[in-house]
Structure 1
């Protein structure tokens, strides 16, 4: 009887605690783990990527195998909302069993405004990730729209675009678009 009484007290105290401080980890889709796994995999495989980048009116395209994937996919890590401080800041929507949608609640001021993750029905890995990140203060404003597509759990296309603006200057648009076209023969997963 004493054991059951202690459980009731513990459960009662847990129910009275502040949910924003003690919300369990894993409330939202774990995008960070997926992106970190992709970074590790892409660093090892060094696939060929057709990459287009631009800042302002300057644009260039190149085909390369030398990409710092940690830097290249950093904004996708920043789009992860599965953080203790964010646990009660987003509205959740599950239009179907394979889709996670999150939007920032009114009155909240966090950089990730929206996040959508669509899973592949066979692999249960993300096949599409889309996010909008926005930062605004008296000196600086930026918006970044990011998305990536995967095939069998491996990134095949990623896209980052947006603008950044200092208060006294015009907005500068930027773009990064990468298409993974070929993996090396040793670690062949797929070829376009």
Structure 2
């Protein structure tokens, strides 16, 4: 099995175990920036553009790089989509800070998985998004940094410590070809 498939399978398993049952607020009732909607729209747009991606996967220092065609961008950006903080029960759970061209949403409760989202704009257009997440429970500790630069680059960095199995570090960088 290639390193890419191993990393992808591990991400899917960790994502499935970290999901919550909270329902998303209806679109017209979003309290915060609609991360899920933004990345779903980006996935649809990128599917139409049909661009290649130079993808680098690093698992504990073992690096594999290849040019790939992403046929399902929604699946590729799923970690970004699932970082949506617009759940009814979280309405008062994030502090909002606006500075010049950056809006940040910071978790007020350390038990929330998504700890911080920063959205940078150039005029009205989004130029960068960074999402920081953390899970700490009896089975494992995991931290995740997701970065997205429209039409340019996306990256996923995940560090995890599974009790009894040790530490793992995963890094995925996808450079979107023009």
TM norm structure 2: 0.79
Retained in 2: the 8 A contact 1:29–1:100? no
- How far is the alpha carbon of 1:87 from its aligned partner? 0.9
Retained in 1: the 8 A contact 2:70–2:76? no
Ranges in structure 2 where 5+ consecutive residues have no aligned partner? 1-24
Instruction: Look up the match of 2:50.
Output: 46
Retained in 1: the 8 A contact 2:120–2:126? yes
User: Is it true that 1:74 corresponds to 2:70 in the alignment?
Assistant: no
What count of residue pairs does the alignment treat as equivalent?
Answer: 152
Instruction: Look up the match of 1:132.
Output: 132
Whole-Å Cα distance in 2 between the matches of residues 53 and 179 of structure 1? 12
Instruction: Look up the match of 1:111.
Output: 113
Ranges in structure 1 where 5+ consecutive residues have no aligned partner? 1-20, 183-192
Partner deviation per Cα, 1:79-129 (whole Å, 9 max, x = no partner): 221222211101110112x32101111x441100010011220xx232110
Retained in 1: the 8 A contact 2:128–2:148? yes
User: Is it true that 1:168 corresponds to 2:164 in the alignment?
Assistant: yes
Task: Calculate the aligned-residue CA RMSD, in Å.
Answer: 1.8
Cα 1:160–1:67 shift into 2, 3 Å = farther
Instruction: Look up the match of 1:100.
Output: 103
Q: 1:88 aligns with which of 89, 92, 113?
A: 92
Whole-Å Cα distance in 2 between the matches of residues 174 and 54 of structure 1? 6
Instruction: Spell out structure 1 runs of 4+ moving beyond 6 A.
Output: none
Q: Larger C-alpha radius of gyration, 1 or 2?
A: 1
